[in-house]
């Protein structure tokens, strides 16, 4: 019996989503490659895949707001999280040097995170593509000379490219946080340790409503590690809040949730999971 899990990722083999999927689920998985995030929820809810990996924020660029909306809209469950260090490398066909490169292809976020490097090489044209590893794959498949990709070391290995410049990201401490997602009541087992939760709530239309909610978290010794507002569709100037809370005692979390429910117009628990230790590297 084949127990391999089908996991959807944004990007192709060699992408950072692929590396995180292997780290979380192991190497024995079946990848479902998606070039856009919007493809992922339908694959989960139609049971084509067991789960998915989705980037949600970067330590330099901030939150990916549309992905919060996707998780909420399609009623997905956050199964876990991974904080992953992003190392960008410049790669091209074997035998090429930096002097040979006229264009660099990659995901817009990767290009943005390497701006300082390319300011020193202003003759290189920067071309935005759907995925870091997909750019490397194109160079390999079409044997494109004079073109390089920004991608991971894994992509260079998979697509038989030479790394011509290592670590070209502007900031060396560059982390992306990924959510591990599944269908509500999906068949991926969650961790035995639960010390973090992601919530969505809408406050009452009263002065100080948000402050009262934050006071509840403080009262129960819960660390509010993130709070993000997102406009409510069809309700101009009204906002939903997405928050992450960290706790040591799950029973205290349950008590806090009961109190929060009394102070909001709606509350949804997007996921309860184990906090990432942020010690991963590659």
What's the rounded Cα separation, in Å, for the pair 211 and 51?
35
* DSSP annotation of 214: H
Assigned token pair, 187: 């068949």
2-34 pLDDT, tens digit per residue, is: 578 999 999 999 999 999 999 999 999 999 999
**Domains of the chain (ranges plus CATH)?**
5-86+174-183 (3.40.190.10), 89-165 (3.40.190.10), 196-273 (3.30.70.260)
Asked whether the beta carbons of 135 and 15 are under 8 A apart, the reply is no
What's the rounded Cα separation, in Å, for the pair 247 and 194?
9
Pairing between strand 29-34 and 76-85? unpaired
Is the pLDDT reported for residue 1 higher than 70? no
215-259 pLDDT, tens digit per residue, is: 999 999 999 999 999 988 888 878 899 999 999 999 999 999 999
Please report which helix (H) or strand (E) contains residue 241, including its range: strand 239-246
Is the pLDDT reported for residue 72 higher than 80? yes
What's the rounded Cα separation, in Å, for the pair 44 and 159?
28
Residues recorded for the chain: 282
The angle formed by the CA atoms of residues 218, 224 and 229, to the nearest 5 degrees, is 120
Structure pTM? 0.91
The angle formed by the CA atoms of residues 85, 138 and 163, to the nearest 5 degrees, is 50
DSSP 121-138: -TTSEEEE-S-HHHHHHH
């Amino acid at each position: 019996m084949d127990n391999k899990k089908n996991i959807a990722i944004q990007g192709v083999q060699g992408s950072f989503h692929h590396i995180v999927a292997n780290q979380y689920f192991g190497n024995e998985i079946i990848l479902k490659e998606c070039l856009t995030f919007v493809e992922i929820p339908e694959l989960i809810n139609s049971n084509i895949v067991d789960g998915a990996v989705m980037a949600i924020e970067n330590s330099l660029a901030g939150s990916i707001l549309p992905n919060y909306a996707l998780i909420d809209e399609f009623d997905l469950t956050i199964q876990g999280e991974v904080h992953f260090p992003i190392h960008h490398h410049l790669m091209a066909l074997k035998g090429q040097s930096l002097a040979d490169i006229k264009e660099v292809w990659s995901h817009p976020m990767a290009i943005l995170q390497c701006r300082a490097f390319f300011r020193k090489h202003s003759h290189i044209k920067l071309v935005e593509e759907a995925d870091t590893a997909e750019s490397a794959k194109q160079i390999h498949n079409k044997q494109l000379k004079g073109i390089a990709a920004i991608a991971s070391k894994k992509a260079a290995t998979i697509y038989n490219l030479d790394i011509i410049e290592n670590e070209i990201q502007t900031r060396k401490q560059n982390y992306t946080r990924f959510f591990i997602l599944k269908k509500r009541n999906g068949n991926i087992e969650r961790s035995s340790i639960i010390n973090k939760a992601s919530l969505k709530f809408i406050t009452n239309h009263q002065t100080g409503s948000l402050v009262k909610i934050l006071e509840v978290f403080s009262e129960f010794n819960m660390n509010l590690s993130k709070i993000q507002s997102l406009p409510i569709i069809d309700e101009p100037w009204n906002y939903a809040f997405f928050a992450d809370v960290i706790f040591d005692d799950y029973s205290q979390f349950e008590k806090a949730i009961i109190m929060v429910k009394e102070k909001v117009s709606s509350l949804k628990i997007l996921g309860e999971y184990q906090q990432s230790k942020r010690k991963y590297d590659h």
